[in-house]
Structure 1
Amino acid sequence: MEDVFLPIIIVGMLFIGLPWVILHYMTKWKTAATITTDDEVLLEELYNLAKRLDERMDTVERLVATDDPDFTPARRLIADQEKDNQQLRELEQLIAEKKGTRS
């Protein structure tokens, strides 16, 4: 009797269990690889906050530079340099495309 059940169990595992496991994890990988709309909104808010903070840092550095002529600001992204602006421009373009407008 055991000789009959063992092949049935093995065939069932091969043709039902294995495809089920593979399809289950394929579905999990596909859903995990996407970014939700809430995540996109949060990223856009963080990007806008970072831009505002950068502008504030520029203002603070200008104020300190007027008080102390020996002041040299720390090296960071500078808005006037082309190489620093390229990635920011690409990000702004992606955001504009996502909203349906082009900048």
Structure 2
Amino acid sequence: MPGEVVMLLLVLFVGLPWLILHYTTKWKTAATITSDDEVLLEELYNLAKRLDERMDTVERLVAHDDPSFNPVKRLQADQETDNQQLRELEQLIAEKKGTGA
């Protein structure tokens, strides 16, 4: 009987807190991205914006030379549904730069 009580106390006061703290630490470290990752994402975002502008220019030039040209459907800059996530991303970038991080 005393051995069972000691075992129960060890499980309650050592095992359970260790288990909780172990997985809490794992969760916190896995849920974040590094500042290098943020810089890379911002560079990729800016590159994608530039490439999209270039595609618009190329499509305008080809359409001017060949009236029968029909561009492939892409995201359109003037459609609200296509711009919602873009605005959210730009807002996050602006907030990040505003906080100095």
Match of 1:35 among 6, 28, 33: 33
- Overall identity of the aligned pairs, in %: 76
TM-score by structure 2 length?
Answer: 0.81
User: Which residue does the alignment assign to 1:20?
Assistant: 18
| Matched letter for residue 13 of structure 1 | V
The 5 A counterparts of 1:11-90 are 11-79=9-77, 81-83=78-80, 84-90=82-88
Distance in 2 separating the partners of 1:89 and 1:18: 44
Q: CA deviation at 1:63?
A: 2.0
Give yes or no for the alignment of 1:98 onto 2:59.
no
Runs of 4 or more above 6 Å deviation: none
Runs of 5+ consecutive residues of structure 1 not aligned to the other structure: none
Distance in 2 separating the partners of 1:8 and 1:78: 68
Pairwise CA RMSD: 2.0
Q: Relative contact order: is structure 1 or structure 2 higher (C-alpha 8 Å, sep ≥ 6)?
A: 2
Runs of 5+ consecutive residues of structure 2 not aligned to the other structure: none
